[in-house]
Amino acid sequence: MSTSTSSISSSLSDIAATASGSGSTTSSSNSLGEDAFLKLLTTQMQNQDPLNPVDNTQMLAQLAQFSELSEVQQLSGKIDSMVTATASATALSATELVGKQVSFNASQIGLVSGSTSTFEAVLPQATADTTAVISDASGRVVRTLQLGAEPAGTNPVTWDGLDGSGAPCSTGQYTLSVTGKTSDGTVVQGSTEVRATVSGVAYVNGVTQLLVAGQQITLSQVSGVYDTSSTN
């Protein structure tokens, strides 16, 4: 015999171990691995020593390894299909938001010179005194709004688009920050949300994003959805 049973058996074990341990192998490589396994298995059976036949337990273990690999590959394929289907469904449902208003967590607000701009001050607890600070792109404070006492939750704020001297601010993006104090002087750090109309949907690296007020936001950033006629 030109091929020993022990060397073939060793090769079988190596192939099975390699195949079962490779989670990123392509379909083509998997097919070649299985073909090689079957060829070696056939050769092993043909060249086995009658006085020292192939160990059935070892052969069953090798077959079990390939069976397990095949099942894992099938499961992986099903999971990939589910992920793709879910992403497609999410993207499709997002298009229904086009034309509707959404509120989302944002630290910036856009302004068109000569017009007003609105945002929402979100407070974790009621305050006795609340301040909203608006800064330009360079970080310079252009306006400080004294909002007074505000309840916990979401509170609408309107900025008239003017700076501290009463002059119209230029068109652009402005940074928002909100802080408050309770009646006993405890500082309350608030956050800001912006409500705007969704103008489109984009897909960036497989992630669905909404085009809102010149920004791209993910669905997880959306805190509310409203009809364009809603004022609440």
**How would you write the pLDDT of the chain (232 residues) with one tens digit per residue?**
444 545 545 555 555 555 445 444 444 444 445 566 667 667 766 666 555 665 666 666 766 666 666 666 666 666 666 555 555 555 657 778 888 888 898 898 888 899 999 999 999 999 999 999 999 999 999 999 999 999 999 999 999 999 999 999 999 999 999 999 999 999 999 999 998 888 888 877 778 888 887 788 888 888 888 876 654 5
43-78 b/e (C-beta count within 10 Å ≥ 16 → b): ebeeebeeeeebeeeeeeebeebbeebeeeeeeeee
Distances (CA, A) of 137 to 6, 97, 165: 74, 30, 18
Q: Measure the CA dihedral 78/81/85/90, to 10°.
A: 100
Q: How confident is the model at residue 51, as a pLDDT?
A: 56
The domains of the chain are located at 5-95, 98-226
3-state secondary structure of 188: strand
pTM: 0.55
Q: How confident is the model at residue 209, as a pLDDT?
A: 86
CATH of domain 98-226: 2.60.40.4070
